[in-house]
Amino acid sequence: MAAYSYTAFDNNGLKKKGYISANSEREARKLIKDLNLTPLKVSHSNAKINNKIKVKNKDIVIMTRQLSTLLDASTSIDDSLKITADQVNDKNLSNILYNIREDIIQGKRLGNSMKSYPSIFNKTYTSLVTAGDSSGNLDTIFDNLADYLEQSEEIKQKVFSALTKFKSIFIFKLSLSGIILGDILIKFTPILEIFISISFINFLNFLGS
């Protein structure tokens, strides 16, 4: 499949840009319409789609959790991918899931198909999926992956919050130090002026002696 870049309008008239995998421009336009978008411009891209797309961790967590729930309910993997693709908010992620589903239907293993999108599914993710696929425990694997991603995001948020708090405290203390220093200078300025005046007078007397 080739990668196509596109510009399209959604149902609210908002302009959307993205990348999509297709065998032809005609198929690309059809896939874009399947995403409830009206294609405005579709052009072939020489870059690989898997290196272009970025998806929020939150959307990956939701997708992973939903796949776990569907598989636990004995839904087939291809149906689980289709249902999830229909419901995820990120259109690029939705298209990737459709592509993966097509790979599965054609006989490709799930983990191997996900490896085609390293910017979405890292090595840990694809390795665990491959192991779960081989052992028949994909539902458990996806559930554990969702837990892991949620915990990672929570830790990331806590670290970010701590750094933001530290930065705020540092700026506050720096500002406070500046205010105190300024206040000290204001209070001691008259004294310094007197000292300088006396020193200057003594210097003049020394010269006149």
How far is the CA of 118 from the CAs of 71, 124, 125, 127, 207, in angstroms? Answer: 23, 11, 10, 12, 83
Residue 112: half-sphere exposure toward Cβ, Cα within 13 Å: 8
Break the chain into its structural domains and give their ranges: 2-51, 57-156
At residue 148, the pLDDT reads 87
CA distance 121 to 143: 15
Angle between helices 57-72 and 138-208 (to 10 degrees): 160
Strand-pairing partners, residue 21, are 3
Helix, strand, coil percentages for the chain (3-state, nearest 5): 70, 10, 20
Name the 3-class secondary structure at 117: coil
Strand-pairing partners, residue 8, are 16, 39
How far is the CA of 43 from the CAs of 3, 88, 98, 110, 172, in angstroms? Answer: 9, 25, 20, 29, 52
Contact 25, 66 (CB under 8 A): no
At residue 91, the pLDDT reads 80
Contact 62, 88 (CB under 8 A): yes
At residue 130, the pLDDT reads 93
Specify the DSSP class assigned to residue 109: -
Q: One digit per residue, pLDDT tens: the chain, 209 residues?
A: 566 788 899 889 988 877 777 778 888 888 888 888 899 998 876 545 555 677 888 899 999 999 999 999 999 998 999 899 888 888 888 888 888 887 888 788 999 999 988 888 999 999 999 999 888 889 899 999 988 888 877 777 777 666 676 677 768 677 767 777 777 767 666 766 666 666 656 655 655 55
CATH node for 57-156: 1.20.81.30
Contact 11, 36 (CB under 8 A): yes
CA distance 40 to 33: 11
For CA atoms 29, 34, 37, 38, give the dihedral sign: positive
How far is the CA of 133 from the CAs of 22, 98, 108, in angstroms? Answer: 26, 18, 11
